[in-house]
Amino acid sequence: MPTVGGPETAAPQYPFLKISGFGDVDFSATDLQAPAAHFQAQTLLTDHSGFELGQTTLHLISALSPKVSFFGEVTFTARSDAGTGTPPAPGFNLEVERLIIRYDFNDYFKLSFGRYHTPINYWNTAYHHGQWLQTSISRPEMVQFGGSFIPVHFIGALGQGEIPAGGLNLNYDVGVGNGRGDVISRGGDAGDINNNRAWLVNTYILPNWAYGLQLGGSVYRDELNPLGLAPAQEWIESAHVVWSKETPEVIAEFANVSHQPSNGGPVANSQAWYVQTAYRLPWFGKLFKPYYRLEQIHVPHSDYIFQNFVPTFTGSTSGVRYDFSSFAAFKLEYRYYWRRDAPNFYGAFSQIAFTF
């Protein structure tokens, strides 16, 4: 578990770098006859069974002073084209997932700069790349890594804080930065794709009168210049309700993404939601936690931004998590997918996830 300063010294040490990590190994088997179009690799929907090395994630934290801190997250992801091409593609992609430098004025206002997981969605900022942290094997598709529905990454500046607000404990994030890149599943790491900054406002409450409850919502705005497509205005509105205790655990989110061509035209609304519930069983040493998730994404054919990148489907996921060690868990899942534009399919999945 993360701790401060190693030996029993009173004086804090700066900078103090701590490195921790997450990893997972997966197995999947489905009745797919062809790759599942528009689903992301980490959803494990392949047309042949087998093991897969999940992302190896390193988390770096360093307190630079009592008020300045650094957070970083890098991942190593196996490439499906490893060894092909000239020169041969490497076996793994290295990504800088998060890189944040933050100054804490006080609890009410903290200012940071860097690359974030866009704080317009609960799952995105609750679990990041730590599979061990999340109950289920894979993320809801609406926030899947490599996916396009939600802009998973955001590069810019963020003001955030918590205000007591009479016991509501109101948390907020206000951000401005580079929105989506010309590849809409990626952020503008090397610069913004246009002269319009994306901005976001995210708020949620953690009321004293319901310890474990979180209610929130957010708004995001960007102008898109996607590769090979006409520019568009993008609005995202989302909401979530979470009960974070394990008896039960409930997470529910909804998001609406609106696209309108920048030179005028009809607005297309694409929507996604999921509800996931789990329950830590009181028997067998409280090591087992069964769960169920129902999720849906709907992209109308009129949404020219999403129609070739985001699947329209309903998915049912049922599984169980077994914490066989303090820092490692085994998960088993069965999923069924109903697809609008392709045959339905099902699959069984397993994962060993751990932190170190």
Partner 1 sequence: MAIAGGTLARARSAGEESHAVAIVARPDLPVDNLSFAELRRVMLGDRQYWTRNLKVTLLVRAPGAHERDVVLKTIYQMSEAQFRQYWIAKVFRAEATSAPRIVYSNEMATELVAQIPGAVAFVDAAQVPKDLKILKIDGRLPGQPGYPLH
- Residue 154 CA to residue 156 CA, distance in Å, equals 6
Alpha-carbon distance 238 to 217, whole Å?
5
Nearer to partner 1, 148 or 171 (CB): 171
Maximum distance among all Cα pairs of the chain, rounded to whole angstroms: 65
C-alpha–C-alpha distance, residues 346 and 44, integer Å: 12
Binder among 31, 90, 105, 301 for partner 1 (CB under 8 A) = 105
Q: Report the residue number, 20 or 262, with the smaller CB distance to partner 1.
A: 20
> Which listed residue (31, 47, 107, 341) binds partner 1 by CB under 8 A?
107
Q: Is residue 169 part of the contact set for partner 1 (CB under 8 A)?
A: yes
Nearest approach, Cβ of 248 to partner 1 (angstroms)?
14
| CB of residue 69 to partner 1, shortest distance in Å | 5
Under rule CB under 8 A, residue 96 binds partner 1: no
| Neighbouring residues of 138: CB distance < 8 A, sequence distance ≥ 6 | 42, 43, 44, 144, 333, 349
Close Cβ partners of 42 (under 8 Å, ≥ 6 residues apart): 54, 55, 138, 139, 144, 145, 146
The count of other CB atoms within 10 Å of the CB of residue 105 is 11
**Residues in binding contact with partner 1, number by CB under 8 A:** 45
Q: Which is nearer to partner 1, 52 or 323 (CB)?
A: 323
Residue 294-333 contact track with partner 1, rule CB under 8 A, x = bound: -----------------------------x--xx------
How far apart are CB 207 and partner 1 at their closest, in Å?
Answer: 10
Cβ-contact 55, 129 below 8 angstroms: yes
Residue with tokens 């969605």: 121
245 binds partner 1 (CB under 8 A): yes
Q: Is 109 or 292 the residue whose CB approaches partner 1 more closely?
A: 109
Please report whether residue 282 would count as binding partner 1 according to CB under 8 A.
no
Indicate the residue among 77 and 225 with the shorter CB distance to partner 1: 77
> Which DSSP helix (H) or strand (E) runs through 122?
helix 122-127
Regarding 179 and contact with partner 1 (CB under 8 A), the answer is: no
Within 10 angstroms of residue 217's Cβ, the number of other Cβ atoms is: 17
Structure tokens at 187: 């952020």
In degrees, rounded to 5, the angle at the alpha carbon of residue 290 between the alpha carbons of residues 288 and 296 is 150
User: Which of positions 136-165 make contact with partner 1 (CB under 8 A)?
Assistant: 162
Interface with partner 1 (CB under 8 A), residue from 25, 29, 58, 61 = 61
Cβ atoms of residues 2 and 13 within 8 Å? no
Give the residue, chosen from 33, 48, 51, 66, that forms a contact with partner 1 under the rule CB under 8 A: 66
Q: Does 250 bind partner 1 (CB under 8 A)?
A: no
Q: Whose Cβ is closer to partner 1: residue 200's or residue 310's?
A: 200
Q: How far apart are CA 325 and CA 304, in angstroms?
A: 47
Between 27 and 70, CB nearer to partner 1 = 70
Count CB neighbours of 67 within 10 A.
12
Write the binding mask 200 to 239 for partner 1: x where contact by CB under 8 A, - elsewhere. ------x-x--xx---------------------------
Closest CA to 309 of 227, 238, 249: 227
Q: Which of 20, 203, 260, 262 binds partner 1 (CB under 8 A)?
A: 20
Which of 58, 168, 33, 173 has its CA nearest to residue 117?
A: 173
Is 242 among the residues that bind partner 1 (CB under 8 A)?
no
Closest CA to 243 of 284, 196, 206, 202: 206
Residue 189 interacting with partner 1 (CB under 8 A): no
Which positions lie near partner 1, rule CB under 8 A? 1-5, 8, 10-11, 18, 20, 59, 61-63, 66-67, 69, 71, 98, 100, 102, 104-107, 125-128, 130, 133, 162, 167, 169, 206, 208, 211-212, 245-246, 286, 323, 326-327, 355
